[in-house]
Amino acid sequence: MKRTFASLADGREIVYYDESDHAEHVLVDPRDLPETTTRSEIRYDAALDEWVAMASHRQGRTHLPPSDECPLCPSTETRHTEIPSPSYDVVVFENRFPSFATSVADVTPLSTDAGPDLLVRQPGHGRCEVVCFTSDHSSSFSQLSPARVRTVIEAWVDRTIALAALPHVEQVFCFENRGEEIGVTLAHPHGQIYGYPFVTPRSRQMLDSARRYRERTWRNLFADLLAAEQADGSRIVTRSELWTAFVPAAARWPMEVHLYPNRHVADLPGLTDEERDDFAEIYLDVLRRFDALYESPMPYIAGWHQAPVRIDRDLAYLHLELFSVRRAAGKLKYLAGSESGMGAFINDVLPEQAAAMLREVRPPFELGRR
Amino acid sequence: MKRTFASLADGREIVYYDESDHAEHVLVDPRDLPETTTRSEIRYDAALDEWVAMASHRQGRTHLPPSDECPLCPSTETRHTEIPSPSYDVVVFENRFPSFATSVADVTPLSTDAGPDLLVRQPGHGRCEVVCFTSDHSSSFSQLSPARVRTVIEAWVDRTIALAALPHVEQVFCFENRGEEIGVTLAHPHGQIYGYPFVTPRSRQMLDSARRYRERTWRNLFADLLAAEQADGSRIVTRSELWTAFVPAAARWPMEVHLYPNRHVADLPGLTDEERDDFAEIYLDVLRRFDALYESPMPYIAGWHQAPVRIDRDLAYLHLELFSVRRAAGKLKYLAGSESGMGAFINDVLPEQAAAMLREVRPPFELGRR
């Protein structure tokens, strides 16, 4: 795999990841691109003991452009996109409308009268990157070859290491939002990578659970959960020597699959070559099952849970959480009062039923799996 | 106010709350209604230390019927709805497709091999009720009279007391989901009341914050947050002698208003008559501002945060949280990877801007407020 570093017209970084060692790229972005102002900040919500990000400059961001104006397609002689090169395998670049950035304006305290812990704001330091999985606008992650997924994994690993080395970044999150149903504004197959200036609330909650479990049992919570799911078996979707894909017993979403390496690994850089090869196959299998469930492709969110950069690395267990808001053909699950107001999820689909549906569905084209 | 108790054809409870002491109601439901089976259960998510509800019988529930088939309109001679009477002021009845119920089937353990704490399920004991705010199908909460809102408050108070007295109920949540944009399946103005068999995850997180704050300061977190917002002033939307409505400094949603009583009260039954009167006015004012912001009525979720039934009652502070997913005319905020995957909210609208918009908007018809 070959990496090529370059810069976009407004100074943002771009990195090409190519399967051929002979790949060449256009290193100069000919656009006259005004520098964007990033007015990101994070505010402390004392009621929930959580950080919330404010990114008011994002209101004007690109919203579902027609496909002949896609900013993620390669550039042509007559049209310049975010990617100056005429083709690419996988490419990563800084988001033009980031929620977090390396350079952001400083912020003044919200109020000097309030108690010191109550109204707190900080600059939104961090990083937001876009990952294009293929130059083919009308493809999807599930249609990538295993070799291309391997290249995507290398990009995730590489960027995880790079973002973790940035000042202020406390957690690196590689994820994909797919489908207009969940508000995706660009159809081109792509994911994102966030470098957060805090450990995210959900990760912190999981690590707190894992800490209490370890204090009680001297064991790793996630390793034991995986073992329990493997022993029970009724919610396993597919498994290999190195990975297990299952619907968790307490799934929140009508379709939800977690993919765990069978070996305890803290983050993506910790995966062996064999584990990366095997993940490419098992993940494509699961995604193709997702897409085969209904007549139209499944909207989904897929996110890597990695150990934070500095703390609780021993408690974390790398895994991917994949879920969909689709609860039946043509029906979506909405987060309403119980979920959004109280955090109490109500799932209309039993996890055992979801797992059976995913086991039984026949993907339109199958991989040669063991 | 007059209360009238009756039963529906399948045994569910219905309670009428009338402003006239002479109101009479049809006490017999003439329908031949099959008993529904409630297969609710709750499962323990050990990774997050939270309960998740499973309600697979809800998949077949009523979905946006045409308005001449609305089950929440009063019954007529030719059409029988969920409400047998030909008219009502406010009526509460048990949901036909509940997420929690008083009588649910028992459940067997998920797996006997797994550790005792890992795969846990329990019956979904509790209660789910529907509250109709008016018999006028095409009205909305914001169009109710202050007197009607007072009747709704009495119903909330009454049902909070009734549900808290049921076995297994640990928290009572009165809320309204409004708008197709957030998946509301019935247009008739109505809300819901849930009696949960656990303290909800978001409440538990807030009460844990409040406990740590009290240990550090000997003070109530929410009272201090309210005082800080009052002192700062820049996010106040409207206030009276007894209530304050403000956009919280760390708002998660593009439009979000919290309404706090100025006096520390634990739950709705604890409000004085004057506080109830005043709430009706200030809440209508805020809702009318919400509806006046854009050309079409605002989709929103409004939820009462009340003290749990048994624990941490001294830490809690009654308040209403009102928020919308609309982030601009014709644009919605979706919860994608960062929010749904990691619990890290990114808000595109600064709370100070949201508060200014709500202060400056002129509702189509104003109440005579001080």
Residue in B closest to A178 by C-alpha = B336
What pLDDT does B117 receive? 72
Name which of A49-63, A241-255, A345-359, B233-247 the model is least confident about.
A49-63
Q: What's the rounded mean pLDDT across residues B94-123?
A: 83
The predicted-structure confidence for A26-41, as pLDDT tens digits, reads as follows 999 999 988 777 889 9
Q: Percent of chain A scored above 70 by pLDDT?
A: 94
With CB atoms and an 8 Å threshold, state whether B63 touches A346: no
Across the A/B interface, how many CB contacts are shorter than 8 Å?
Answer: 269
Interface mutation vs chain B, best among A58, A118, A230, A324, most B CBs within 10 Å: A118
Phi, psi of B228 (to 5 degrees): -65, -40
Q: Name the nearest CA neighbour of A176 among A322, A67, A289, A65.
A: A322
Share of chain B above pLDDT 90, in %: 81
Q: Is the pLDDT of residue A286 over 80?
A: yes
How far B201 CA lies from chain A's nearest CA (Å)?
A: 5
Cβ of B249 and A342 within 8 Å? Answer: no
| Superfamily of domain A202-360 in the CATH hierarchy | HIT-like (3.30.428.10)
Contacts of A107 in chain B (CB under 8 A): none
Task: Determine, for residues B323 and A340 on separate chains, whether the beta-carbon distance falls below 8 Å.
Answer: yes
Interchain contact, B213 vs A53, CB within 8 Å: no
- Provide CATH 3.30.428.10 ranges for chain B: 2-198, 202-360
* Whole-number CA gyration radius for chain A: 21
CB–CB contact B337 A47 (8 Å): no
Let me know if A264 is a catalytic residue.
Answer: no
Per-residue model confidence (pLDDT) at position A365: 58
Closest CA to B268 of B207, B193, B212, B169: B193
List, for residues A302-336, the tens digit of each pLDDT value.
Answer: 999 999 999 999 999 999 999 999 988 888 888 89
pLDDT at residue A303, as a whole number:
98
* pTM: predicted TM-score of the whole model, two decimal places: 0.95
What pLDDT, on the 0 to 100 scale, is given for residue A58? 73
Among partner residues A43, A323, A336, which is closest to B301 by beta-carbon distance?
A: A336
With respect to CATH, is domain B2-198 assigned 3.30.70.260? no
Q: What's the pLDDT band for B104 if we cut at 50, 70, 90?
A: confident
Nearest CA of chain A to the CA of B55: how many Å?
A: 5
Span B142-169, pLDDT tens digits: 999 999 999 999 999 999 999 999 999 9
Question: Is there a contact between A318 and A307 (Cβ–Cβ < 8 Å)?
Answer: yes
| DSSP state letter for A354 | H
Q: What is the pLDDT of residue A331?
A: 87
SS3 track for B200-225: CHHHHHHHHHHHHHHHHHCCCHHHHH
pLDDT tens-digit map of B200-233: 999 999 999 999 999 999 999 999 999 999 999 9
Q: Do A228 and B115 touch (CB under 8 A)?
A: yes
Contact A325, A182 (CB under 8 A): yes
User: Smallest Cβ distance to A115: which of B51, B196, B224?
Assistant: B224
Residue with tokens 């010191």: A116
Helix (H) or strand (E) holding A55: strand A50-55
pLDDT at A366: 52
pLDDT of A124-163, one tens digit each?
999 999 999 999 999 999 999 999 999 999 999 999 999 9
Task: Show Cβ contacts of residue B370 under 8 Å, excluding neighbours closer than 6 positions.
Answer: B240
